[in-house]
Amino acid sequence: MAGLAASAHGSVVAFAAMNPPRLPPAILIMGPTASGKTAVAMALADRFPVELISVDSAQVFRDMDVGTAKPDRATLARYPHRLIDVISPEESYSTARFRGDGLAAMGEITAAGKVPLLVGGTMLYFRSLLHGLADLPQADAALRAEIDAEAAAEGWPALHAKLAHFDPSTAARLHPTDSQRLQRALEIYRLTGRPMSDLLAASEQQKPPYEFLSIGLLPGERAVLHERIARRFDEMLLAGLDAEVRALRAKYTLSLNLPSMRCVGYRQTWEAQEGIIPPKELRDRGIFATRQLAKRQITWLTNSFDAENFDCLDPALSDKIAQRVAGFLGA
């Protein structure tokens, strides 16, 4: 009998080892701008016990509504999003802060018996959530000013070429005029003597204690996404993007060096207001910048995430994703 008991106990242990308790579920909806992420998230919220967490580095700013395509008040009342309207446009919101805030929100949602659904297009935030953060140095104002002076003299594409010599991996995923991220990559190398990509790889951490369903929204036809982007930027202009930027400048102490005013659409509007670019070029420049943003987001999504991708142009998109989520949740 003792032998049978020991054998049974061993079988239970072996079964438990092969079938560990399932981690709590979490869903990620990732995609480029204008891919319909919010609509998919709201459709899922109508059908499943989920709560939404925004993963958008522009929507964290208060009073920046039109140019960030932030859901309106009625929508947010029906479908609350965490991590929207978190800080003033005068402040900065780091990736580290997002990871801390995001994990805290996920914990609260899980404790309430619901499923965190994270939706947005800031791929660096998603990456930090899944893989942790590198031990990167703090910003150095003097060094940043030095890099900015170099860029003013040589141009950001020249600095991008320099970055490619010692950190080709980071350079490959950055646009030659992505000043904010180029500045940071150069700053890190000059402060540490190591490429940012090496520091990121060395700091890979375990995933948070969740079972993730990662869903990517990618366009079957890039030209159609470009049309959506143009149409949405036109809608922003009609909705008062110029007036919104003027109101922000009147209410807050802002400059083009702040992350809030570097956001696509806001920078171009500011430059048009200051005469840096001809006002008649605002539309074309805003659309071009948004398309470049979408291109970077698509590159991140296809190269850096193990996601199940769906065609964001498919008329049955929400139903197909809902079917996948139902299977994931066992609903």
pLDDT digits (tens, 9 = 90+) for 156-169: 999 999 999 999 99
For the chain, give every residue range classified as CATH 1.10.20.140.
136-204
At 181 the pLDDT is: 93
Q: How confident is the model at residue 137 (pLDDT cuts 50, 70, 90)?
A: confident
Average pLDDT, the chain: 92
Tell me the pLDDT band of 203, cut-offs 50, 70 and 90: low
| Sequence ranges of the chain with CATH classification 3.40.50.300 | 23-133+205-329
CA-derived radius of gyration, the chain: 22
* Parallel, antiparallel or unpaired: strands 50-55 and 308-311: unpaired
| Residue of 28, 31, 53 lying closest to 313 (CA atoms) | 31
Q: Lowest mean pLDDT of 12-26, 33-47, 306-320, name the range.
A: 12-26
Residue type, 109: I
Percent of the chain with pLDDT over 70: 92
For the segment 102-121, the average pLDDT, to the nearest whole number, is 98
Tokens 């990167």 found at: 136
Asked whether 286 and 265 are in contact (CB, 8 A), the reply is yes
Given this model, what pLDDT does residue 88 score?
98
Residues 32 and 293: their CA atoms lie apart, in Å, by: 8
> How big is the chain, counted in residues?
331
**String of b and e for 34-47 (b: at least 16 CB within 10 Å)?**
bbbbbebbbbbbee
Check pLDDT > 80 for residue 331: no
7 band by pLDDT with thresholds 50, 70 and 90: very low
Query: E-assigned strands of the chain?
Result: 25-30, 50-55, 81-82, 115-120, 211-218, 308-311
Regarding the domain with residue range 23-133+205-329, which homologous superfamily does it belong to in the CATH classification? P-loop containing nucleotide triphosphate hydrolases (3.40.50.300)
Average pLDDT over residues 61-87: 97
SS3 225: helix
Under 8 Å CB-to-CB from 262, ≥6 apart: which residues?
A: 179, 180, 256
How many angstroms separate the CA atoms of 310 and 77, rounded? 28
Tokens 């404790």 -> residue = 111
Q: How far apart are CA 94 and CA 116, in angstroms?
A: 21
- Residue 53: pLDDT band (50, 70, 90) is very high
Partner residues linked to 311 by β-bridges = 218
CB-based contacts of 126, cutoff 8 Å, min separation 6 = 28, 30, 55, 118, 120, 305
Using the predicted structure, report yes or no on whether residue 194 has a pLDDT greater than 80: yes
pLDDT range class, residue 2, cuts 50, 70, 90: very low
pLDDT reading at 205 higher than 60: no
Pick the CATH number of 136-204 from 1.10.1060.10, 3.30.365.10, 3.40.50.300, 1.10.20.140: 1.10.20.140
Q: Are 311 and 317 in contact (CB under 8 A)?
A: yes
Give tens-digit pLDDT for 9-28.
Answer: 444 444 344 556 689 999 99
Least confident of 3-17, 204-218, 293-307: 3-17
Of the listed ranges 13-22, 27-36, 267-276, the one predicted with least confidence: 13-22
Nearest-5° angle of CA 67, CA 35, CA 216? 125
